[in-house]
Structure 1
Amino acid sequence: MGKKKIVSIEDRIPKLKQARKKKANRRLIFYLSIFFLLIAIIVYLQSPLSHVKTITVTGNQFVSDKEVINQSKLTTKTNIWTINESKIIDVLKKNPSIKSVKIEKQLPWTVDIQLNEYERVGYVSNNGVYYPVLGNGQILTELKQKTANGDAPLLMNFSDKSYLHKMTKELQKLPTSILNIISEIHWKPTDENKYKILLYMNDGYLVDGTIRGFSEKMNVYPSIVSQLNPDNKGIVHIGVGAYFESFDKESQEEVADDETEG
C-alpha cells in the first residue's frame, strides 16, 4: 500500500485565500456591471437618445398626417417609454372619420400611428359643391370638392339626417363592385313608406327600392340584370319579389330571384 500524502493546513491556507479572493472579485465585477448598467439606463432615459425621432401615420385618407400628429401631442421631445397609447387612441377616435386606432412603438425612436377610417360611401351636394359622406353618416364638410369622384353614389334629397344615416349604414355593407355602379340615390319618402328610394345606375337602369334591407336586396342586382335584354332599359323593382318594368311601358316581366322574394 502507498503512503498517503499529508497536506498541512499551512499549505492549504494560501490556496483558500486565493480562491476566496477570486470569488470576491467576480462578485465585485458583477455588482459593478449592474451598477453601471443602471446608470446607463438612467442616462438614456433622461437624454435625447430616448426621444421620439420619427412619427409615421398610415391608413389615413380624410385626415392629414400633420393633423393626426398634432392631435396625438407627440413631438421629438416625447420620451418613447412614457407614451400613453390608450390616451392617444381616445383623443384620435373623437375624429368622426376614424373608426379605430393602433399605436406601435418601433424601437429605438419610431412611433407608428395606424388608422382605420370609415369608408366613403357617397357624396352630398350643396350649391354646386360636393362633400364626402362616410359609412357612419358623417358628412365631411371640411373636404369640399368641385366634382364627385365617381367612386361612390351621389345622395340626393336626404333632408332628414336620420334617414341619411340609415342609408349610409346599408351602403357600407355593399361590395365595392356594386357601390361603384350606382350613380345617384334619391330619397323619395311617401306617407306609406318613408324609406322609399330611387337609384340611377351607371348601366342605364333605374332601381326602385327601400332603405330597409337595401344591401341584401341590392346584392342580387347583378344576377337580376343578367336576365334582362341590355337593349331594353327600364326600372328594376326590388322588394317583396322583383320585377322589371320597361321604359317603353310595353313589357313588364317577373325576375326570378329566390333571395329577393319574401
Structure 2
Amino acid sequence: MEKKKIVSIEDRIPKLKEARKKKANRRLLFYLSIFFLLISIIIYLQSPLSYIKNIEVNGNDVIKKEDVVKLSGLTTSSNIWVMNKQSIIDSMESHPIIETVEVERKLPQTVQLKIKEYNIVGYIKSDLEFHPVLENGMIITTSNLNNIGDGPLLNNFNDEQYLQRMVSELSKLPPDIFDLISEISWEPTDKNKYKIMLFMNDGFMVDATIRNFASKMAAYPSIVSQLDPKEKGIVHMGVGAYFEKIE
C-alpha cells in the first residue's frame, strides 16, 4: 500500500501566511481603487469638465431659442449631472406656447431641449396689432416671437365661448384646407349664433357655421373643383352645399 505524504504544520504555515498576505493586498488594492475613483468623481463634479458647454434647442418655431434657454434656467455654469429635469420641464411648460418638453443629456457637455409648441390657428387684431391665437385657445400678446407663421384673421370674435369653439374646429382642419382660409368673421344672427363668413385665398367666400365646421369643410376642395375660378361667389356649407354666384 502506498504511503500518504504527511505535511507538517510548520511547512503549511508559510504558505498560509503568503495566501493571507496576497488576499489582504488584493483587498487593499480594491479599497484604494474605490477611494481614488470616488475622489476622481468628486474632482470631476467640481471641475468645469462637468459643466454644460452646449444647449441645443429643437422644435421651436414660434419661440426664440434664447427665450427657450432662459425658461429652462440652464447656463454654461450649470452642472450637467446636478440639473433637475422635472424642474426644467415644469418651468418651460408654464409658457403658454409650449405644449411638451423633453430634456436629454448628450455627453460629455451638451443638453438637448426638445419642445413641442401649440399650433397657431389664427390671429386677432387688437390695438393695431395682430395677436396669435393658439389651438389651446390662448391669445399671445407678447411681441417677442421668432416666427408668427400663417393663419386666418379672426374678425368680430368678441365672445370667448364662440372663439373657443372656432379655435377647436380650426385645429381639426387638414393643412391643405386650413391654408386656403384668409379671414373668418363671426356674424351671429337671432336664429344662428354660430354663423360665420369665410374669405378664401382662392377668391371664393364661404357661408358656414361653427358647429361641425371642420367636418363640413372637408367637402370644400371637391365643391370648388367643379366651379369656374373666374366666377366669384359664395359657397354655402349649411345643411346642403350650394354655390351662389355674385354678379
Q: State if a TM-score over 0.5 links the two structures.
A: yes
Q: Which residue type is aligned with residue 241 of structure 2?
A: A
Residue of structure 1 in register with 2:169 after alignment: 170
Q: Are 1:239 and 2:217 matched, yes or no?
A: no
Residue of structure 1 in register with 2:87 after alignment: 87
Residue of structure 2 in register with 1:97 after alignment: 97
**Residue deviations 1:209-247, cap 9 Å, x none?**
111211111122112223434444322111223222222
**Residue deviations 1:29-58, cap 9 Å, x none?**
111111111222222223332222222222
Alignment of 1:61-210 (within 5 A): 61-126=61-126, 129-143=129-143, 151-210=150-209
Structure 1 pair 16–77 and aligned structure 2 pair: CA distance change class (3 A): same
Residue of structure 2 in register with 1:54 after alignment: 54
Structure 1 pair 144–70 and aligned structure 2 pair: CA distance change class (3 A): closer
Residue of structure 2 in register with 1:221 after alignment: 220
Q: CA deviation at 1:3?
A: 4.1
- Whether the aligned pair in 2 keeps the contact of 1:129 and 1:144 (CA below 8 Å) is no
Residue of structure 2 in register with 1:212 after alignment: 211
Q: Which residue type is aligned with residue 203 of structure 1?
A: D
Whole-angstrom CA distance in 1 between matches of 2:101 and 2:74: 15
Residue of structure 2 in register with 1:8 after alignment: 8
- Whether the aligned pair in 2 keeps the contact of 1:120 and 1:132 (CA below 8 Å) is yes
**Residue deviations 1:156-213, cap 9 Å, x none?**
2222343223212211111111111111111111122221111111222211111121
Greater displacement, 22-31 / 82-91: 82-91
Whole-angstrom CA distance in 2 between matches of 1:217 and 1:40: 66
Q: Are 1:20 and 2:3 matched, yes or no?
A: no
Residue of structure 2 in register with 1:260 after alignment: none
Q: Which residue type is aligned with residue 25 of structure 1?
A: N
Q: Which residue type is aligned with residue 10 of structure 2?
A: E
Structure 1 pair 144–158 and aligned structure 2 pair: CA distance change class (3 A): farther
Higher relative contact order (CA 8 A, sep 6+): 2
Residue of structure 2 in register with 1:256 after alignment: none
TM-score, normalised on structure 1? 0.83
Greater displacement, 239-248 / 209-218: 239-248
5+ long unaligned stretches in structure 2: none
Query: Match of 1:63, SS?
Result: coil
Greater displacement, 108-117 / 41-50: 41-50
Structure 1 pair 96–112 and aligned structure 2 pair: CA distance change class (3 A): same
Whole-angstrom CA distance in 1 between matches of 2:164 and 2:232: 30
- Whether the aligned pair in 2 keeps the contact of 1:44 and 1:50 (CA below 8 Å) is yes
Could you say what the CA RMSD is over the residues aligned between the two structures, in angstroms? 2.3
**Residue deviations 1:110-139, cap 9 Å, x none?**
221221111122223346543332222333
Residue of structure 2 in register with 1:39 after alignment: 39
TM-score, normalised on structure 2? 0.88
Query: Match of 2:81, SS?
Result: helix
Q: CA deviation at 1:20?
A: 1.5
Whole-angstrom CA distance in 2 between matches of 1:144 and 1:46: 37
- Whether the aligned pair in 2 keeps the contact of 1:198 and 1:206 (CA below 8 Å) is yes
Query: Match of 1:185, SS?
Result: strand
